[in-house]
Amino acid sequence: MKWLGLLGLVALSECLVTIPLMKVKSMRENLRENDILLDYLEKHPYRPTYKLLSGQQDPDVSFEPLRNYLDLAYIGIISIGTPPQEFKVVLDTGSADLWVPSIYCSSPACGKHNTFNPLLSSTFLVSGRPINIVYGSGRMSGFLAYDTVQIAGLVDVAQAFGLSLQEPGKFMEYAVFDGILGLSYPSLSFEGITPVFDNLWAQGLISQNLFAFYLSSKEERGSMLMLGGVDPSYYSGDLHWVPVSRPLYWQLAVDRISMNGEAIGCDSGCQGIVDTGTSLLIGPRDPVLNIQKIINAQHSHGGEYIIDCDTISTLPDIIFTIDGVDYPVPASAYIRKSSVHGCYSNFDESAAHESEPYEVWVLGDVFLRLYFTVFDRANNRIGLAPAV
């Protein structure tokens, strides 16, 4: 099974290890509105702020504030090395490894991002193991190293991470992040590498073996990653716990996808991957085309599906039923407005082959902005509740 997309990757090392990840195909809106995006970022430099809705920080929970870049990506700031060097990274539950650009990178993309200088870190160790990461819209090749990583005030020593030597392609050049920090299961990481979250737990830095995400909607600030605990003021009602069906991705069983009581996808049950690194709702070609037809989304020359903005007020919710509980996604969420190009469908087709043994959907940020999500490694389960 091989999927490639926005942040999806295939990792190859000395042993040519292949790691399949399912992601969106590209950050097309980012590139299409590039001039607007660059102007936006220049006027809004990153300044992390906490949104502790309870008014008091829980000492057992470590908070990492995230920046919402136009609902396209959620970025946190980490540091690597001694003294620390800062990087903007996607906190991605759809992958398991950490990488950032290096000063040795020769690509134009690295000239536009923060780069790590091993010569300035007294705790840096190099392994010499090569890494090649291939994306749907670009690639990163480099080498494996070890150093101290700091996130949410936690100090993770001797953490393995990748350093890029090449990042060809326009996608990486215009990406709003420097690198990626994966939060999926270790079985998805490079062979023999312990991911960041697993090291935080192993080193006794967090009190519970879990983390949680609150993703803001259309708000620059307020999004949060919580490590080692949960702040209940970020959601309403009770968390509904769903078992992980395959401990590789954060994957669960979905009962069906419906509108007005009628199944419009996943009618015989399917699998869902809960992925903070994917911006859209991704599914197999036929069910997605069916949904585009139902909501009257028209295929454009750019590859996306355009829809009349006026339909946002008339189209019904699309319901994802998971473990017997309905999770409505309103039209205001599954249709996105562009400041220049009108409105687009937030559904997209996956790159999975029709021969796959089961139907797989990716529940990306469109879904996660609506539902606070807890990723419980101790019990291999996912907790969902309406976000406040």
Q: Are 220 and 254 found together in one domain?
A: no
Residue that is last in its domain, among 182, 210, 230? 230
204: Cβ contacts below 8 Å, ≥ 6 apart: none
Q: Does the active-site annotation cover 238?
A: no
| Residue 319, domain CATH | 2.40.70.10
CA distance 263 to 266: 7
Q: Are 279 and 209 found together in one domain?
A: no
The pLDDT assigned to 26 comes to 39
User: Is the Cβ–Cβ distance between 246 and 274 less than 8 Å?
Assistant: no
Q: Are 175 and 320 found together in one domain?
A: no
The pLDDT assigned to 354 comes to 53
CA distance 115 to 85: 9
Compute φ and ψ for 116, nearest 5 degrees.
-85, 135
Q: Are 237 and 352 found together in one domain?
A: yes
pTM summary value:
0.86
Q: Is residue 3 part of a domain?
A: no
Long-range contacts of 157-161 (CB under 8 A, 24+ apart): 157/123, 157/203, 158/125, 159/80, 159/98, 159/196, 159/199, 160/98, 160/127, 160/190, 160/193, 160/194, 161/80, 161/97, 161/98, 161/99, 161/100
Q: Are 153 and 295 found together in one domain?
A: no
Options 92, 198, 365, 376, the catalytic residue: 92
The pLDDT assigned to 219 comes to 75
Options 255, 275, 348, 376, the catalytic residue: 275
Q: Are 113 and 243 found together in one domain?
A: no
Q: Is residue 336 part of a domain?
A: yes
Q: Is residue 2 part of a domain?
A: no
Q: Are 63 and 130 found together in one domain?
A: yes
Q: Are 37 and 109 found together in one domain?
A: yes
Q: Are 184 and 47 found together in one domain?
A: yes
Beta-ladder partners of 235? 387
Q: Are 117 and 242 found together in one domain?
A: no
Q: H or E segment at 290? A: helix 285-294
Number of domains present in the structure of the chain: 2
Tokens of 160: 């393995």
CA distance 363 to 277: 10
Q: Does the active-site annotation cover 198?
A: no
294: Cβ contacts below 8 Å, ≥ 6 apart: 259, 264
Q: Is residue 4 part of a domain?
A: no
Residue that is last in its domain, among 215, 230, 245? 230
Q: Which domain holds residue 200?
A: 10-230
- The mean pLDDT values, 10 residues at a time, for the chain of 388 residues are 32 32 42 43 39 58 94 94 97 94 95 97 94 71 96 98 92 90 93 94 98 89 95 97 96 98 95 95 95 95 89 97 98 89 91 67 97 98 97
Residue that is last in its domain, among 199, 230, 261? 230
Q: Is residue 5 part of a domain?
A: no
The pLDDT assigned to 171 comes to 81
Q: Are 238 and 275 found together in one domain?
A: yes
CA distance 110 to 168: 9
